[in-house]
Amino acid sequence: MHKATASVVLALVLALSTRVFAQDGPPAPPTVAATGYLLIDMDSDMVLAAKDAEQRLEPASLTKIMTAYVVFHELHNGSVKLTDQVLVSEKAWKTPGSRMFIEVNKRVSVEDLLKGMVIQSGNDASVALAEHVAGSEEAFANLMNDHAHRLGMDNTHFVNATGLPDPEHYTTPHDIVRVTEATIRDFPELYKLYAVKEFTFNDIRQHNRNNLLWRDDSVDGVKTGHTEAAGFCLVASAKRDSMRLVSVVMGTESEKARINESQSLLNYGFRFFETHRLYGANDRLTRTRVWMGENEEVSLGLARDLHVTIPRRQYDKLNARTEIQPLIEAPLNKGQKVGEVIVELDGNEVMRRPLVALEDVPEGGLWRKAVDTVLMMLE
């Protein structure tokens, strides 16, 4: 699910979660004491539990998921290297809040700064990285917003790299899931930093604040956050067998609460749901007639893998069908939408995805067009 369609599909699935799953499926989600929360399967993007997932909330240090994502992106592009030595500015050194304890006018590698930000939640490290990547924290915030827009985080705006409070600094549980999923998907090797339990810098050892890493072996991230206004927040991701879930809880009352509420959401998802890969990207699902083209038919399939998350032991009630546009004319480009794949559970629609052409079909010659014009008149 991407960009403009994300909110529509989220609303659809939330409706279906009460209408479809309640018939023969799992119990209602656990009661979660948080201002807003969301539980989602990463492969299918199906929502399993939610409350006020589109509400704008203060993210606190959940902000650093995007800060890290931007740095990961620059590392991937080669404009920044892990071995780069960053000169610590006075601004970075003086940044209030959680710290990795870098020192002004000393040089620290990008790799150590990333560890200090991801593992120790260092605000000083976040500012130092922002200044190294973009020249200033303000310019870096513009990069953060550019990536947020590209990822479809439509209710998010960043003004800093740390999550320190600002009226114009906000996000939603749904939007935080977007950048979390993008991190796991786009930068799997760098994402492993989120599973590291402790880091020692300047002879000071600090533990990862995500205590779920100790409680649940399936958890491999992601990030905590806290300010007085935001409450205690946590984004968690866990993988059991081939199923990965991402949970977000924002605005709980304590460190213990954010851990317990996250654990209850993850346990609920893994206990009562299962995810299936129905079709692969570019698999040929069917063929259809093309008029006015060099070829009379075109293969149709999906642009990306199709996964569906359903209540456990309901797989035999799944059905998939295609709806194809009644008249398809050349030229036809690979990837062009010509219909939809609709997935139903026990007769109720749970998902639909674009059905696309798997190859180009150029326009045919004059003879082909003349013949097809006559045949179309006879249809």
Active site residue 61: yes
Residue tagged active-site, from 17, 44, 64, 247: 64
Q: Is residue 328 within 8 Å of residue 366, measured between CB atoms?
A: no
Which of these is catalytic: 121, 237, 262, 299?
Answer: 121
Rounded distance, CA 277 to CA 217, Å? 24
Q: Tell me how far CA of residue 251 lies from CA of 128, 156, 229, 267, in angstroms.
A: 28, 17, 8, 20
How far apart CA 29 and CA 363 sit, in angstroms, is 53
Q: Is 344 strand, coil or helix?
A: strand
Bridge partners, 118 (sequence order): none
From 17, 61, 89, 98, active-site residue: 61
* Contact present, 70 and 133 (Cβ < 8 Å): yes
Q: Which amino acid is at 90?
A: E
Determine the Cα–Cα distance for residues 39 and 268; give it in Å rounded to an integer.
Answer: 9
Instruction: Give the rounded distance of the alpha carbon of 200 from its chain centre.
Output: 30
Structure tokens at 137: 């924290």
The rounded distance, in Å, linking the Cα atoms of 291 and 326 is 11
Residues 44 and 67: their CA atoms lie apart, in Å, by 26
One-letter amino acid for residue 329 of the chain? E
- CA 246, CA 176: separation in Å to the nearest integer? 10
- 64 included as an active-site residue: yes
* All residues at 6 or more sequence positions from 313 whose CB lies less than 8 Å from its CB, including other chains: none
Cβ count near 287 (within 10 Å) = 13
**Contact in structure between 305 and 274 (CB atoms under 8 Å):** no
Residues catalogued as catalytic: 61, 64, 121
